A = this chain, B = another copy of it.
Amino acid sequence: MEELRQLCKHASDVKISVGMLDSDTKDRVLTDAAAALIASEEAILKANEEDIERAKSNHMPDGLLDRLTLNHDRIAGMADGLRQVAALDDPIGEVLSMKKRPNGLIIGKRRVPLGVIGIIYEARPNVTADAFALCFKTGNCVILKGGSDAICSNIAIVDALKSALVKNHVTESALSLITSTDRSTTMEFMKMDEYVDLLIPRGGHGLIQNVVKNATIPVIETGTGNCHIYVDAEADLPMAVRIIKNAKTQRIGVCNACESIVVHKSVEKEFLPMLYEALSPKNVELRTDASALACLGNDHLLVKEATEEDWGTEYLDYILSVKTVENIDEAIEHINHYTTHHSEAIITNNYDRAQHFLDAIDSACVYVNASTRFSDGNEFGFGAEIGISTQKLHARGPMGLEALTSYKYIIYGNGQIRE
């Protein structure tokens, strides 16, 4: 506990100086860190093997084991990631606005780092390098708490990253790894609001909710996406099929995948069989309301009646819920009620209803005639992504580097006093 406090305090003590590093130095550190990862491949793979052996003896499921596993290509990928972040523009120091007031004061709004950022994540060692790159690029100190199953890998990766800090005479406290694998340490960490300015949980729903409920540090909530696509009475139906197929099946386990569709009753008879035909080769199960069920017939293996629970479920699987409605307002009400406020789309050629949907849907990303799968920092042109925020304060939707910054007002005077 005292050790954790000291670690957080050290980060807080150096945050001003780290925040003032020039872009060249930061980019050199990131490039050197990429080289250090490559040079340390042997040590990192050896440490990773230790983690994998322990995980196997603890019967870790295959999917998680795969995410824990490093190899030559994955280390090269981590190094590439560091170099890509180095190549981005530095957002720090940008003056967002500046104006002269009638009394001659010149007031500017300058982008600055947040300070100390804590990242709590699962046993995915690639996040270690990624989180460091994004936080350091934005002049923040970062404190990492990775999943304990990856502890040896994380220590080896952080050693390599720190060597780049040392080489460039930057304080090592710019990057800290919490090495205690005790659960109570994570709980204590979430309450270090005296030293840590922001906490970002990266991982599954359970991890995120644990952080949101227990942290006294401000949190940016990311991730959960119960995304809807509404097929309007005036939709281009073949386009609707293509978009829904893409949003549902192009990648299954991601937060911007479509989990539920809402269909106008005037097109359900024509549309639902078309959709079924497109999705059944992918074994997508449809969970529908009674009206849709009547259109499809319930003799299909892949069609079931939905329960109330289905409307609120993010399946992350080959399942899609299907709701039918009498009009767009019913669709909007349904979506706003069950959504996690991530991404929703309308498929329509009707101008008014497209605009109305954009206005009335209370989600981070609202689409007309496109797949929800585009909700992504890279697809939005941000160059990097920290996550996708489903909250409204500070940052909403895909978060680029700017989400890791704050601002301060700088004011140039020549003796002004207030009358």
Contact = CB atoms under 8 A, between A and B. Distances in A.
Interface of A: 15-16, 19-20, 99, 101, 105, 107, 114-115, 197-198, 218, 236, 239, 242-243, 245-247, 250, 336, 358-360, 362-371, 373-375, 379-381, 391-394, 396-398, 406-418
Contacts of A16: 336, 360, 362
17 contacts: A20-B360, A197-B393, A198-B392, A365-B408, A365-B411, A366-B408, A368-B412, A368-B413, A369-B413, A369-B415, A370-B413, A370-B414, A370-B417, A371-B413, A374-B418, A379-B418, A396-B408
A101 B381 contact: yes
A359 B411 contact: no
B363 A408 contact: yes
Contact of A367 (B15, B363, B391, B411): B411
A356 to B, nearest CB: 9
A284 to B, nearest CB: 16
A392 B395 CA distance: 12
Contact of A393 (B336, B366, B380, B393): B393
A415 B239 contact: yes
Per CB-CB distance, the 8 closest pairs between chain A and chain B, nearest first, are A370-B413, A246-B417, A392-B406, A373-B418, A394-B394, A370-B416, A369-B413, A365-B409
B396 A394 contact: no
A218 B365 CA distance: 22
A93 to B, nearest CB: 9
Tell which of A114, A364, A379 has the most Cβ of chain B within 10 Å.
A379
Given A250-B417, A374-B411, A379-B418, 6 more contacts: A107-B380, A365-B409, A366-B408, A370-B411, A370-B413, A370-B414
A176 to B, nearest CB: 19
A114 B370 contact: no
The residue in A15, A16, A418 that gathers the most chain B C-beta atoms within 10 A of its C-beta is: A418
Contacts of A397: 408-409
Contact of A370 (B105, B360, B366): B105
A411 B343 CA distance: 10
Contact of A366 (B236, B246, B358, B410): B410
A368 B20 contact: no
Contact of A373 (B107, B374, B392, B417): B417
A100 to B, nearest CB: 10
Nearest to A218: B393
A124 B198 CA distance: 33
Nearest to A256: B418
A409 B336 contact: no
A197 to B, nearest CB: 6
A271 to B, nearest CB: 16
B115 A415 contact: no
A409 B114 contact: no
Nearest to A416: B370
Nearest to A418: B373
Contacts of A242: 415, 417
A362 B247 CA distance: 44
Contacts of A366: 408-411
A333 B50 CA distance: 44
Contacts of A19: 362
Contacts of A406: 392-393, 396
